[in-house]
Structures are given as structure tokens and as C-alpha cells.
Amino acid sequence: MKNKRDVLPQEGEARPSKCPDNSAFKQQRLPAWKPQLNIVTVLSSFFLVGTFCLTMGVILILSANSVREIQIDYSDKCSDCSKLRENSSNWNKECHCSVNFTLKEDILGDVFMYYGLQNFYQNHRRYVISRSDAQLLGRNVNIQRSYCAPFTTYSNGTPMAPCGAIANSMFNDTIDLFYNRNSSVIQVPLLKTGNSWWTDKNVKFRNPESYNLSSAFAGTARPPYWQKPVYLLDEEDERNNGYINDDFIIWMRVSAFSTFRNLYRRVRRVRHFADGLPAGNYTFRISYNFPVARFKGRKHVILSTVVWSGGSNPFLGIAYVVSGTAAILAGFVITAIHLKLRKKKTYFQRQ
């Protein structure tokens, strides 16, 4: 135990000080800029910001409205196939339906085809985490330790590839587009690759290393709701198979809302479609595989163009308009308060 003599400073010794060092930084003597706010600068800021936001909002809304888009709901038009798919024992039976529509005007430029789902909730917590990112990178992992349950293994112990509820529920309708030109029917050429993000295709998803895909996925089985294994997702293009299949990658990017759309195909601009889709009669031929009736869902197919600001979503433009309006209104309110207070000050000075 220390005595009092050891604790207290001896005579002639300097007492410890809590004062910061005498430096420009610690004594806060560094040069700094401090804005001198007055009524002119404040009001100018509000009106300038408001004008900028209003201008940007109007430009974005006009840009979104210039997008050409046609949306077709085929849930009811393919009702027979829908009833067939509600019975899980019919999973191996094919069912096709057709939807006719007419383009009154040409759709010029790049045309994108989307599939849309309504009342399909991908934002459930258990659903969002039901995947194995290590497996999707092509690593040999024990998926029993992942969040994929109950879509991990079959009763005989065979692991699923890919595992998880997201992969198991992948959208698998096949949609083809045909152009009825005079008395002939021309299939519109569609691009099924190059639709996913570069980072997804080259960073987040990779196939297991092997001399061919079938051997890479040996010892695994397809998810229960799939009709073919992961290494045969695209039988026409071997490079678009496995975990790097574009349709699979796009589906694995879950949506935050119950109504959403995903990019499905792009129109290849060749021959009759070099400038886009010409006006005329068209037909969607759909191989119906994805049931939605049980959860009261709806399915759409969308043909759309894009502009520099994106697709036909006016939300960003509306947000800019609302923000700009609020800033300008705040500027007028501050101006009114300033004028009222200045009149009062002048009145009392005269008294």
C-alpha cells in the first residue's frame, strides 16, 4: 500500500497537468473556413437547390415516359396449363399456350423482354438466406451446415445442386416470340446471354473445376422442382450452363417487393428486326411450367425499351420533383418570416 508521501508530488516537482499540448492542432489554432450565414446565402441555397431538383425531376419523368413498353398478363390465357401444373404429379408433362397481340407502332432501338411476377414474396427472411454462396462459387462444401434446409439433400443423402429455396423456386417458363408477317411466321431471334451483371458472371458464380460439367456435378441431383439438372439448363450453349447460366444468376438476385420483373431475353437486331420490332401481329408461345395459382399470383411478359435514365420507372423523377418543391416552398416560408420580423424591428426602432 502506497503512503501519502508517495502519491503527492514532492516539493519542487511539477504537478501533472491535463492541459493539451501547446500546438496549433490541439489548441485549435489551425486555419479553418466557417461559413457566414445570412438571409441572402440561405435563401439562395434553398431556391437554387429547389430549381435544380425540379429541373432534374421533369427531365427524368419525360425520359421515363418516352420508354415504349407493352405488358401482357398470360395467367388467365394459359389457365388450362395452370390447372395442370397445380398437380405436382404432372411435373413431367409438357403444356404449351399461345398469346396473340398487336403492335400498332414500331418499337425502335434495343428491345428487352422481361418476365414479371405478382404476389410472389422473395423478401421473406428464411427465403433470402436459403442459399450457399460457397457452393455457388464452385467449392466443395458441406451444404448441411448452410442455410439451405430443407432443400439440402434427398432422403438417400444425395446433395442438391444448387441447394436452397431460392434456387428450387427458379422461374422456368420458356417464352418464344413470333412475328406474323403477311402469311409467314418468323421467329424473333432472342439473346439469352449477356443479360446478367459482369460481377455476378465473373465473381459471385463459378462452376466446379472439371474437364466437363456433367462430371463436375457428379454425385449431386437437381432441386425437386427442376425438370433438368443444372449442367443442362441451356442445351444449345455449353458455356451458359451450371451456376453461370444467365437465367439462374438473374433469378438468384432476389427482389425486395412482391411484384417485380426480371430480364429474360434481348431482341437480336438482325434481318427484319435490325431497327427493333416492326408494327404488326405477334404471338408469344409459352411452355408453361411455373405455377402461381396457389399463392394467387400473376405472370406477365413485358417488351420494353430503355433510355439513358433506365426503364419506365418515374419514381426517381417524382422524388426529385417533390424534393425541389419542398425546398422552394421552404425558401418562400423563410422569406415571409424574414420580412415579417424585419417589419417588426423597423416598427420598434421608430418607436
Q: Which three cell numbers stand for residue 148?
A: 439451405
Please, which residues have CB within 8 angstroms of residue 262's CB and are 6 or more apart in sequence? 114, 115, 116, 171, 250, 251, 253, 255
Q: How is residue 153 annotated by DSSP? A: B
Is the separation of the CB atoms in 183 and 166 below 8 Å?
no
pLDDT, average across residues 10-23: 71
Please, which residues have CB within 8 angstroms of residue 342's CB and are 6 or more apart in sequence? none
DSSP string, 111-141: -EEEEEEES-----HHHHT-S-HHHHTT---
pLDDT at 340 over 90: no
CA distance 239 to 236: 9
Q: pLDDT tens-digit profile of 252-304?
A: 999 999 999 999 999 999 988 999 999 999 999 999 999 998 889 999 999 99
Confidence band, pLDDT 50/70/90 cuts, at residue 16: low
pTM score:
0.81
Residue 281's pLDDT is what?
Answer: 94
Q: pLDDT tens-digit profile of 277-286?
A: 999 999 999 9
Q: pLDDT tens-digit profile of 84-108?
A: 888 877 777 889 999 999 999 999 9
